[in-house]
Amino acid sequence: MDAIFKALADPARRTLLDALRQRDGQPLQDLTELLDMTRFGVMKHLGVLEEAGLVVTRKKGRFKYHYLNAVPLQQAIDRWIEPLLVKPAARAVLNLKDQLEGETDMSKPDFMMQTFIRCTQDALWDALSAPESMAAYHFMCDRVEGSAEVGGKLDWILPDGNRMLTQRPTKVEPKTRIEATFEPHFFGPDAPASRMVFLIEPQGDACKLTIEHYDLAAGQEGVAEGWARLAASLKSWLETGTAMKASM
């Protein structure tokens, strides 16, 4: 937590985060133009943000793209602010659809985020693939129906019985990777579909979870906040047995 507040204390680093919030996935050259300093100076600031977990990167060809990682900020909010505003209710993942099944050579993500969860690889895999586990930490849906296997689909059901979204797995590598589609019914019946990826990497007694989202349509940028809420609630649920559910 100290690294987060240290990173946020510098106005130049806050400028970089603001820029990534407005347009995620920017290369170093674009970010350098925002600050009155050398390329090396901007790289140093980005390094501090990466150390704090507030920025994650993805290399594609010759370029390295930078993404705002909202998970640490969401965890800080959950720890100190949200308990004062709301009581536990219903909360977790904001999910997925698309017609581009089977495509694995994805371009750079529209956004990505990472978090470290103290749990086994098996426990994290179960949380991301078993319908009964998914429903336990979702912030709006009270049940998930269907199958997480390739060729199946998962429907996220609201308390009133309506579908919030549909997720269709397109590629599954047990315990390490899930690629799926994202059909957000909450944006309307004709909302464009997009794609997502869960990546699981064991890290000693913990696991690193990376969430990537591709082909996000204009006007749907708000799903990034949903992913941050998902990651924070999932982490709490796996580490303490209690999801950090709250009203949207």
- pLDDT tens digits for range 30-83: 999 999 999 999 999 999 999 999 999 988 888 999 999 888 877 777 666 555
Residue ending a domain, among 48, 67, 86, is: 67
**Which has the minimum average pLDDT: 92-96, 161-165, 183-187?**
92-96
Same-domain status, 106 and 179: yes
| Prediction pTM value | 0.63
How many Cα atoms sit within 13 Å of 103 on the Cβ side? Answer: 13
Radius of gyration, alpha carbons of the chain: 18
pLDDT tens-digit readout, 79-120: 665 554 443 333 333 333 344 444 444 578 888 999 999 999
- Full residue range of the structural domain in which residue 37 is found: 2-67
Classify strands 111-117 and 55-60 as parallel, antiparallel or unpaired: unpaired
Residue among 243, 176, 197, 171 nearest 96 (CA): 197
Same-domain status, 124 and 17: no
Residue 177 in 3-state DSSP?
A: strand
Q: What angle do CA 47, 225, 104 make, to 5 degrees?
A: 75
Q: Is residue 246 part of a domain?
A: no
Q: Is residue 9 part of a domain?
A: yes
Residue ending a domain, among 14, 44, 67, is: 67
Residue among 62, 139, 52, 131 nearest 93 (CA): 139
Q: Is residue 248 part of a domain?
A: no
Which residues are paired to 143 by β-bridges? 157
Same-domain status, 233 and 183: yes
The encoded tokens of residue 113 equal 């985020």
Q: Is residue 105 part of a domain?
A: yes
Same-domain status, 61 and 158: no
Residue ending a domain, among 38, 67, 96, is: 67
Residue among 59, 53, 42, 8 nearest 231 (CA): 53
Q: Hey, how many other C-beta atoms are within 10 angstroms of the C-beta on 173?
A: 10
**Higher-pLDDT residue of 200, 98:** 200
Question: What CATH number should be reported for the domain holding residue 219?
Answer: 3.30.530.20
Number of domains in the chain: 2
Same-domain status, 85 and 139: yes
Same-domain status, 36 and 95: no
Token pair 């100076």 is found at: 41
Q: Are 91 and 233 in contact (CB under 8 A)?
A: yes
**Higher-pLDDT residue of 171, 81:** 171
Same-domain status, 97 and 30: no
